[in-house]
Structure 1
Amino acid sequence: MTISSDARVAVVTGASSGIGEATARTLADQGFHVVIGARRLDRLEKIAEEIGGTALELDVTDEDSVDAFAAVLPRVDVLVNNAGGAKGLATVMEADLDDWRWMWETNVLGTLRVTKALLPKLIDSGDGLVVTITSIAALEAYDNGSGYTTAKHAQAVLHRTLRGELLGKPVRLTEIAPGAVETEFSLVRFEGDQEKADKVYEGITPLVAQDIAEIIGFVAARPSHVNLDQIVVRPRDQAGAGRFHRTTT
């Protein structure tokens, strides 16, 4: 890995598509050397070539993978915890424990592993920033979503706890809680069922990945004394986790 000694380094997890990819492109445009991590290395390498960044394979559910990722980074100024996801829409009574384990490993423990591994470098930068992408599911509960909402609540509390624990350290912490964003999120939730995924956004104009990326870019561009603690962003057509205005044709 070759990174200029005067370059500011931004790390984006889950960066092979969607919000992560859009964020990597936005931060690169702002002058950061962006290190992107995800499991799909072939997609990462294409993005990294286009933005002049670095692609590294990363599985946030694997401690050895996270440690290897962190070990090769010379410095870290910005960390965007974007890796996460949902599986299924089962009731509590019908909960699939394997789906719950995956959601907790990815959203909660994945965020913990990466943040813990990179915090020393973020502190050493003298002006670190941790952005964690949670969800409005970190603020609300909705029927059939307990696996995801509990994981996102836990991820958000982890992030918010750091805000106090790092008080006095040169690190800012911003939680961004998006509502409906049309990415591969629903496709993953429904195991590749495109028809089910499309119905999530039917009749609304959802957010797109670039909307979130631009907010992250704005956060990263604030002066070091400004901490945007929490940003909730939803499409105009959404008033809550399960409350939408949908047009019919």
Structure 2
Amino acid sequence: MKEKTALITGATSGIGKSTAELFAKSGIKLILCGRRKDRLEQLQKKLSPFTRIHTLNFDIRKKEDVFKAIESLPNDFSDIDILINNAGNAHGLEPIQDGNTDDWDAMLDINVKGLLYISKSIFPKMVEKGAGHIINIGSTAGKEVYPNGNVYCASKHAVDALNQAMRIDLNKHGIRVGAVNPGMVETEFSTVRFKGDTERADNVYKGFQPLKPEDIAEIIHFVVTRPYHVNIADLVVMSTAQASSTIVNKTI
């Protein structure tokens, strides 16, 4: 059986890192992408005993850097079977009339345009060979809108639409496309959203048991290891305590 190669964006923390760890232990060859070179090097060192790894250090918001990075892949890493579009973030939690336009730019540039850039760079070879699997990491914020979520929710609604569009347009090429849409996962997400205010970030997850990055990694691994004729097109997952973006039972 051919050794699978997976490219994971946002691989240096949270869901991306946990997915890389699980994939490595499953013998999947990895291309790990991220902005933080030191973390990429640490992760490569940690996972190298399990599988072959290549790292790409670039900012997914910069179109030229994305295409240059993919073009730089050595031959034995250039045939990508699985693309995990995981890189994404949230900035700020204000009513739309008080929103910071720099925050808006960051969310749209990373969550939407960055996803498009990396996908565009991977499409040609998948189309050429008539096979591949793309997993877009969305959010419950792409299924509903909550107070003060405005532009973040808009960016994740765009991911939801792009997931559907990719699945339709790439169908004739035999490429599987699906999304995993998590609810509240305890990662660096809230620390980034609140710009380093760790106390405020920690409060988000107090009083209940949120999802862990490992939970989502296990789901992603399940999705990509289904038989070829099975495509899990759109999956929403929340912790037992969470019913919606605004309803969380903090007595569990």
Q: Does 1:95 align with 2:99?
A: yes
2:10 equivalent among 10, 14, 30: 14
For the 8 Å contact 1:19–1:210, the answer to whether it is kept is yes
Give the match's secondary structure for 1:239.
coil
TM-score (norm 1): 0.94
For the 8 Å contact 2:82–2:132, the answer to whether it is kept is yes
Q: Structure 2: 5+ residue runs without aligned partners?
A: none
1:229 equivalent among 225, 233, 238: 233
For the 8 Å contact 2:92–2:99, the answer to whether it is kept is no
For the 8 Å contact 2:184–2:211, the answer to whether it is kept is yes
Instruction: Give the CA deviation at 1:111.
Output: 0.4
1:35 equivalent among 11, 17, 31: 31
What is the aligned partner in structure 2 of residue 107 from structure 1? 111
Distance 1:180 1:26 in 2: 21
RMSD of the alignment, in Å?
1.2
Distance 2:181 2:58 in 1: 23
Query: What percent identity do the matched residue pairs reach?
Result: 40
Deviations 1:13-55 (A, max 9, x none): 0001110000111111222111100000110111112222121
Give the match's secondary structure for 1:61.
coil
Which one is further off, 130-139 or 48-57? Answer: 48-57
1:191 equivalent among 191, 195, 199: 195
Q: Does 1:179 align with 2:183?
A: yes
What is the aligned partner in structure 2 of residue 161 from structure 1? 165
Q: 1:125–1:51: structure 2 CA closer, same or farther, 3 Å change rule?
A: farther
For the 8 Å contact 2:35–2:59, the answer to whether it is kept is yes
Q: Does 1:246 align with 2:250?
A: yes
Instruction: Give the CA deviation at 1:93.
Output: 1.4
Instruction: Give the CA deviation at 1:126.
Output: 4.1
Which one is further off, 226-235 or 50-59? Answer: 50-59
Instruction: Give the CA deviation at 1:170.
Output: 2.0
Instruction: Give the CA deviation at 1:90.
Output: 0.8
For the 8 Å contact 1:45–1:54, the answer to whether it is kept is no
Deviations 1:200-239 (A, max 9, x none): 1110100000000001100110111111001100000000
Instruction: Give the CA deviation at 1:121.
Output: 2.2
Q: Provide runs of 4+ in structure 1 moved above 2 Å.
A: 121-127
Correspondence list, 1:44-193, <5 A: 44-52=40-48, 53-73=53-73, 74-193=78-197
Distance 2:193 2:129 in 1: 37
What is the aligned partner in structure 2 of residue 202 from structure 1? 206
Distance 1:10 1:157 in 2: 23
Distance 1:85 1:247 in 2: 28
TM-score (norm 2): 0.93
